[in-house]
């Protein structure tokens, strides 16, 4: 059986029942549709990032993490590079951040993607509900564009 090389792994996180927190899964669904015919792009969407994802990360050439941010201004879209790091303060069993997952991939599988970044969208509201706030709705086209251009650059 031939294993396809994953040139880019899109790893989204969020809860679709918590307002803007669902923007990560929404973008993952959009990417899934967009790259449906491209076996080198893989999309994984989870409510939380858990340690088992380290193996998927270790096996990919590049990883684009997607999450909402409660620290950024509502609707603010950013793309920042991510380095592996073990953040022990407040470490949770059920959830790791992107730097911790990269560190796990490195420590467990001795492998790291060549390119890694976090695409985040500032949340306006994470109250119970399936609707996005206005700022996040307005930001989605820009986030999609940034996602697409990043994948294009990484996989060309």
Return d(Cα 128, Cα 140) in angstroms, integer: 20
Applying CB under 8 A, among 2, 37, 89, 156 the residue interacting with another protein is 89
Query: Within 10 Å of residue 67's Cβ, how many Cβ atoms?
Result: 21
Sheet with 62-69, side-by-side order of all strands? 41-46, 8-13, 62-69, 115-122, 77-81
Applying CB under 8 A, among 51, 59, 84, 135 the residue interacting with another protein is 51
The answer to whether 100 contacts another protein (rule: CB under 8 A) is yes
The answer to whether 126 contacts another protein (rule: CB under 8 A) is no
The answer to whether 83 contacts another protein (rule: CB under 8 A) is no
Nearer to another protein, 37 or 90 (CB): 90
Q: Are strands 115-122 and 62-69 parallel, antiparallel or unpaired?
A: parallel
Nearer to another protein, 92 or 114 (CB): 92
In 3D space, the residue among 55, 51, 44, 54 whose CA is nearest the CA of residue 12 turns out to be 44
Nearer to another protein, 56 or 148 (CB): 56
Q: Which residues bind another protein (CB under 8 A)?
A: 46-47, 51-52, 54-55, 86, 88-94, 100, 103-104, 107-109
């Amino acid at each position: 059986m031939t294993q396809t090389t994953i040139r880019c792994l899109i790893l989204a996180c969020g809860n679709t029942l918590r307002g803007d927190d669902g923007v990560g899964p929404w973008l993952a669904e959009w990417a899934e549709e967009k790259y449906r015919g491209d076996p080198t792009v893989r999309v994984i969407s989870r409510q939380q990032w858990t340690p088992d994802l380290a193996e998927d990360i270790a096996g990919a050439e590049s990883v684009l993490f997607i999450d909402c941010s409660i620290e950024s201004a509502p609707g603010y879209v950013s793309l920042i590079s991510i380095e592996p790091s073990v953040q022990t303060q407040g470490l949770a069993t059920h959830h790791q951040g992107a730097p911790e997952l990269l560190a796990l991939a490195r420590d467990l599988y001795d492998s790291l993607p060549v390119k890694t970044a976090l695409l985040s969208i500032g949340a306006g509201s994470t109250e119970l509900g399936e609707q996005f706030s206005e700022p996040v709705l307005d930001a989605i086209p820009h986030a999609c564009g940034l996602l697409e251009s990043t994948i294009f650059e990484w996989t060309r």
